[in-house]
A and B are shown apart, each in its own frame.
Chain A
Amino acid sequence: MKTAILGMAAAAGLLIGGAPALAGQYKLIAAGTPVTVARSGLTVTPSENWNHLGPRLGRNAESWTLDGLTLNDVTFYGGIAGGETLFKARNAKDKPLPPFSATMLPPDIVQMFEESYRIANDTTIFTVDKVEPAKFLGASGVRFTYSFTSKDEVARKGVANAAVVGGKLYMITYEAPVIYYFDRTIDAYAKLVDSGVVAAVK
């Protein structure tokens, strides 16, 4: 989904012409300092400097990158409540996204994620590769890997860690092109996941 948004932004910039590039929309996230993400009780401590993409993807979703979102993309979903979608639909009338429900089992969450990606990215090339139980934010959760190709025809791999805490969905995903980038930055993602702490939202 991130690639789609970036593509749109780039296209808009080109078409409008003269609009400042994306640079202004990024904010530096400094290494070593705990930071609250996605307007939620989710806090992570990055092990290196990251860039935060300014526009949020949804009420409780935001993306970070090291080299640009098409090359590596970490997205935080902080406390998605029942009835809410992972991110904002671009065409909610004709292509609504499936909502989260607190009664979902881990495989249901994986499927909701897959559907959201297929719809938002306009792609049919999306497969879930492996699904396993994994602790996340101190709760019993799920870790899954996936592969997909969007309209830019670049094959990407992704990995997600998710858990339902207090009836809300928390998830951190990482995705990057299969060639070179995925392996290069996956450790930085793993450190972010390990550093995650969730506190009660005010």
Chain B
Amino acid sequence: MRRLLGRLLATSLLIGAAPAPAQESGPGYKPQDKDERGLWMQVDEQERQIKTSSFVIRDPALNAYVNGVFCRTVGEAACKDARIYIVRVPYFNASMAPNGMIQVWSGLLLRVRNEAQLAAVLGHEYTHYQNRHALKLFRDIKQNTGAASFLMVGGIGGALVGLAILTQSFEYSRDNEREADAGGVALIAKAGYDPAAAPMIWEQVRQEQEATAAARNVKPRYQNGGLFATHPNNLERMRDMRAQATAITVPNAVTNEEAYRKALSPWWPQFFDDQIKLNDFGGGEFLLGQLASAGWTPALLFARGELYRARGQPEDLVKAAGFYRQAVDSEKAPPEAWRGLGLALLRQGKRDEGQSAIKTYLQKKPDATDKAMMAMLAGDPS
């Protein structure tokens, strides 16, 4: 039941089988009938909870950037009706509810490589919103399970429960996804972005899922990213989007990769830390490789050391120490790179070297919260 609610509230990614309502949603649009008013009531309540959620990232600069990309993609008039919430959830997802509430997960921002790709996802979601796909789904659910059960489910769990479930529970309808895919490509092309960015992001997500599965020795399930789930026609969708992108000529098309990196750079360390702590070695390694496409920075080398050390196999610890060493060659390395180096070495039985690295960590970060523990490991329990 909660899965149904999750699907519904996360309007964006969802598809219903009913014929498309003729009218489009957009600036000033109001719900037309009892069903739609009920749906809006639910998402308004969800938004009320999101507004005060401790998971929402309120950094004005980041919010202004994402909002700017959305407005450029859908146009100034349309963007006035939308409210964007950047939510700290480490998976790949975004959604736009019928009332104009947009949720963008931090895991999406970590995965998207440039502004054009972000625009493509936002354009995809906006198309679901504009074509009122959520209402179709709502009617489907109501028809199948009855309004009473829908309302009961609505009373349980907060907005983020719906979100968490959303990542795992999709069944896509091809027609509405295709509509959103095509809408996203058209919108970003119109905004001057390179339309080829749209199929690329799906390709990346697919590759990451394969990397995750390979490291776990399982078959890829294509389920971790809600935007790109279990349909057998994913390859077909990508092919369609590529064809659409190729058919559109955008003079001086941009991807704005530099602008994207700059806007996101203050947040990479935290977003990546959230990713590393998911116990997903393959996915983490894949994402780091992507982020390092322009070169391995000390921060990325540190993150890679953390990823390998967390898995902690003997050969991982050797590699982790190597990455930390490369990181600390630079003055820009975070003090925690010395900590990681020390722990990786100690765990390999290299006591003297390990203790020396930990002492450097404590010198560089005298107020560390784990100071007492690390001092003991460094052989200096003072």
Q: Chain A: residues with CB nearer than 8 A to chain B?
A: 7, 11, 14-15, 91, 93-98, 101, 103-108, 110-111, 114-115, 118-119, 122-125, 128-133, 142, 144, 149, 151-153, 155
Contacts and interface: CB of A to CB of B under 8 A. Distances in A.
Given A7-B157, A151-B158, 20 more contacts: A11-B157, A95-B278, A96-B216, A98-B279, A105-B346, A105-B347, A119-B278, A124-B88, A124-B274, A125-B54, A125-B88, A128-B370, A131-B369, A131-B373, A133-B376, A144-B373, A151-B157, A151-B160, A153-B158, A155-B54
Contacts of A129: 369
A94 B168 contact: yes
Contacts of B77: none
A123 B216 CA distance: 22
15 contacts: A11-B2, A14-B156, A15-B1, A15-B152, A93-B218, A96-B216, A103-B347, A111-B277, A115-B310, A119-B278, A122-B160, A131-B373, A142-B373, A149-B55, A151-B164
B118 to A, nearest CB: 20
Contacts of B153: 15
Interface of B: 1-2, 52-55, 88-90, 106, 152-153, 156-158, 160-161, 164, 168, 216, 218, 221, 223-224, 274, 277-279, 310, 312, 339, 343, 346-347, 369-370, 372-374, 376-377, 381
A115 B343 contact: no
A2 B24 CA distance: 44
Contact of A101 (B106, B164, B312): B312
A118 B377 CA distance: 26
A110 B343 CA distance: 13
Interface centre among B55, B156, B373 (most CB of A within 10 A): B373
Nearest to A129: B369
B164 A106 contact: no
Nearest to A151: B160
Contact of A133 (B158, B224, B274, B381): B381
A130 B346 contact: no
Contact of B53 (A103, A106, A153, A155): A153
Nearest to B160: A151
B13 to A, nearest CB: 17
Contacts of B347: 103-105, 108
B279 A119 contact: yes
A101 B311 CA distance: 10
A105 B377 contact: yes
B373 A124 contact: no
Contacts of A15: 1, 152-153, 156
Contacts of B88: 124-125
B55 A133 contact: no
Nearest to B54: A149
Contacts of B52: 153
Nearest to A142: B373
A7 B339 CA distance: 37
B361 to A, nearest CB: 11
Contacts of B223: 94
Given A11-B157, A105-B377, A133-B381, A128 B369 contact: yes
A58 to B, nearest CB: 16
B277 A122 contact: no
B89 A105 contact: no
Nearest to B279: A98
A115 B277 contact: yes
Nearest to A96: B279
Contacts of A118: 274, 277-278
Interface pairs A-B: 7 shortest CB-CB: A131-B370, A132-B372, A131-B373, A124-B88, A133-B376, A122-B164, A98-B279
A160 to B, nearest CB: 13
Contact of A106 (B218, B221, B312, B373): B373
B158 A152 contact: yes
A11 B1 CA distance: 10
B343 A130 contact: no
A124 B216 contact: no
